[in-house]
Structure formats: C-alpha cells, structure tokens
Amino acid sequence: MSKTSWPFELWIRDLTNSQRLQVGLQVGLGISTSQGLQLGFYRQTCPNAESTIHGMVQQFISKDRTLAAPLLRMHFHDCFVRGCDGSVLLNSTNTNQAEKDAVPNQTLRGFNVIDTIKSALEKDCPGVVSCADILALVARDSVAMVGGPSWVVPTGRKDGRVSIASEALAQLPSPFANINQLKQNFAAKGLSVKDLVVLSGGHTIGIGHCFVISNRLYNFSGRGDTDPSLDPAYAAELKKKCKPGDTTTVVEMDPGSSKLFDDDYYTVVARRRGLFQSDAALLNDIQTRIYVILQSSTNGITFAQDFAASMVKLGNVGVLTGSQGEIRKQCAMVN
C-alpha cells in the first residue's frame, strides 16, 4: 500500500459484494451521502489522514486492547448528543459544563488517543481533518482490530462549537432504561429498533462499573431485593465482585471475551446475564428478543454485517458539513 493511499485495502476484504460495488461507485464518482459526507473526502487535502489514523490506532490497541471499547463508546456518545460533531470531546469552561462532565460520560476514557492523533494530523495538514471524523474512523478501526467487522466511513464532518452536560444526561440511552425508553432514545436519532438491538451488541467488548449495577443486585425495588430478570446464579457471582457501595471495581460485560469483538453478547443476554437493565430489556420486546435469540442460536449469523450497517447509520446522525461548524485545532476546545 502506498504511503499516500487511504486504507481501503484494510477493510474492503470484509465487505459484501454489494457493499464493494457501492464503495467502487462512490469512490469512482466521488458520490456524497445525503448528509453531504464523502468517501475519501481528504484525498486531496490530507492524503495520509486515514492511514495515519489507522496506524496510530493500531499502536494504541496493540499496547492496550481494552481501549477499543471506550473508543467505540465515545463515538456512540458523541453521535447521540447534537449528532456526530465531536462535542463530547470539548472541555467544560468557567461558564459551561460540557458533555464530557455529564454523569454518563464521566467513565469515558481514551481522550488521549484522539488528542495524540489530532496533534499528528495538525502537523501534517493544519486545520484540515475534523475531530468528529477522527472519532468516527477511530471507532471503526478499534473494532476491526479486536476481531470485529469493518465498515465504510464517509468523511467531511465538521466540529460543533456547543457542548452541554444536561443534553448528554437527557439524550444518552441509560443503563437503567426499559425497552420503551430505549426505543424512544433511538427513534429520536432516526435509528430503528433493529439498530437498537444491533448496536447494543457493542457490549461484547468492555467493562461496566459495580456502582451502575448495585441497585440490580442489592435494592432493585427498594426492599433490599435483586432484580428478578437477572439469572440468580449470575447475580450471586456478581455479588462476590461488587459489594454494596463499591465505586471502583469493574466487571466484564461479556465475561471471558470482553477484549474480543464476537457474538457472545447475545448468548449472555439470552441466558439472562446481561449486565445492565438496558441489556436485560432486549428480552422485553418481540422484535429485539427474536434478534437476540437468532444471534445466540446461530453463532451470530448476521451480527457482523448488521453491526457494520448500523454503525454507518449512527455515523450519519446529525452531522455538520460544508459551512456548518468548524475544524478545531484542538479537540478539547473551540477555535
């Protein structure tokens, strides 16, 4: 691969024939998406951008595979508030509490990865590559590097200038949510019930904090009880690791393979061992339950391609393009 080529070869082999055809058409004709994004947007202005991002993500993930999950989660949390505009990366100021400091985002990590990549790109092509695009590409490459699928990421997103903690609190899907709340969260972003159950599969990698599941284990309905939707044997295991009031311990969301992107998540949920209430909720809707059972009984027959398709949709939510937004010089602050 030439130094100036962007890393098509790295993910094209994972695409279906119809996806390859679509990629070929879009690249050959320079076709934009309906959101104004374009494959190879930086080919002329920063030809090494995507290969630089890919190479740096590889360096970080090879040193610490646990980074893949938070980097995927960061992109997800970005897109759910004001669209995929990099607003989750902004620091709070004296006059504004930013998304980053909202309770659901206080456990995010990997900001240093984004900042390091941005710094390298600013040296190569100052003021060209947006933080929002970096996040979208880093999420894809992180997943692919821990065994997951790859997907097409058209670029050309601009960075937003607004980041408000209260919006993150109101709009991000909660780990305590029931199925109706989750469906409303996703529908508000133009995402379907299928996208909800597919993107929940991202929990195949990563960890959860004991304090988030404490009420499921110890005081579910306010009477010192355990959530009846949680497998009792698994609840007993979790209680050994998570003591009441524990604010520091973490547990795997997909026990035994939390660093490998596979289809085990659906087997876990089908066995009533989903870590969060939002995982267990997938069994409380006919459409999501059928999907969980299908993937758990077929070794994830369609999960990889479904996840790729839903990630493409997620990456298109509320994007800023053209004269909207800006290209931040530093991802943590507006210009």
Residue 99 assigned as binding residue: yes
Contacts of 284 (CB under 8 A, 6+ apart): 178, 179
Q: What are the φ and ψ backbone dihedral angles of 270, each rounded to 5 degrees?
A: -60, -30
User: Are residues 217 and 225 in contact, defined by beta-carbon separation less than 8 angstroms?
Assistant: no
Q: Can you tell me whether residue 32 is helix, strand or coil? A: strand
| Residue 293 burial (C-beta neighbours within 10 Å; 0-12, 13-18, 19+) | middle
Residue 87 assigned as binding residue: yes
Residue 117 tokens, joined: 């990549």
Residue 222 tokens, joined: 């306010």
**Interior angle at CA 22, CA 19 and CA 28, nearest 5:** 140
What is the C-alpha to C-alpha distance for residues 253 and 275, in angstroms, rounded to an integer? 6
Residue 14 assigned as binding residue: no
Helix (H) or strand (E) holding 14: none
CA-atom Rg of the chain in angstroms:
20
- Catalytic annotation present for 77: yes
Residue 214 assigned as binding residue: no
At CB < 8 A and 24+ separation, what contacts does 215-219 make? 215/176, 216/276, 216/277, 217/242, 218/244
Residue 298 assigned as binding residue: no
Residue 82, Cβ neighbours under 10 Å: how many? 21
In 3D space, the residue among 209, 80, 78 whose CA is nearest the CA of residue 138 turns out to be 78
User: Are residues 294 and 286 in contact, defined by beta-carbon separation less than 8 angstroms?
Assistant: no
Residue 264 assigned as binding residue: no
Residue 279 assigned as binding residue: no
List residues bridging with 96 in a β-sheet: 93
Q: Of residues 54, 75, 77, 209, which has the active-site annotation?
A: 77
What is the C-alpha to C-alpha distance for residues 211 and 10, in angstroms, rounded to an integer? 39
Residue 133 assigned as binding residue: no
User: Are residues 71 and 138 in contact, defined by beta-carbon separation less than 8 angstroms?
Assistant: yes
Residue 203 assigned as binding residue: yes
Residue 51 assigned as binding residue: no
Residue 85 assigned as binding residue: yes
| DSSP 8-class letter at 33 | P
Q: Which residues are annotated as a binding site?
A: 78, 81, 83, 85, 87, 99, 173, 203-204, 254, 262
Residue list, annotated binding site for heme b = 203
Catalytic residues: 77
Residue list, annotated binding site for substrate: 173
